[in-house]
Amino acid sequence: MRETIFSKRYITILEQFVSTQLALEDRPRIEWFMQDGARPNNTEKVLRFLGEYFGNRVIELDYPKFTGTGMDWPPYDLTPCDYFLWDTLKDTVYGNHPSTLDELESAICVACNSISIETLKDVMSNFILRLRHLIFSNGEHFENIVS
């Protein structure tokens, strides 16, 4: 059954994710959690939940304003999902003109599975290059990064 995601449902999803991670991991918790600022993700209850589990290791639009810790959503040119993934998926998924929710879901799965390991390695190499440019520019805007 497909449901509209609202704050309470989103917290349930996060709880399942966190409990799975805790069951699978036998190492210190050093990961960061990154989410966008979609309305269900950006409620006081969700931000409190994220703070309890991830503390200051949250990257989200306005999270630092709410908690005083964490990191704001990075600029477009620093987020692999923004500069690579979303456009790639959109082009592939909507190129097939899905007309039902089932077709859309299937097209998204096919598109995600079609991204090669080599492509992901290239994206991450480019991400490292972008970080180096950011350091070199002393945090200022930079252009002309190879995609």
pLDDT tens, position by position, 39-60: 778 888 888 888 888 888 888 8
Token pair for 70: 């964490």
**Partners of 146 in the beta sheet?**
none
More confident residue, 130 or 115: 115
**Average pLDDT, rounded, for the chain:** 83
Distance CA 83, CA 141 (A): 15
Tell me, what's the pLDDT at 66?
A: 84
The domains of the chain are located at 1-73, 76-146
> Who's near 2: CB < 8 A, 6+ residues apart?
101
DSSP3 helix / strand / coil % (the chain, rounded to 5): 60, 5, 35
Alpha-helical regions (H) of 25-85: 44-54, 63-67, 80
For residue 138, the 8-state DSSP code is T
Tell me, what's the pLDDT at 35?
A: 83
> Who's near 11: CB < 8 A, 6+ residues apart?
45, 46, 49
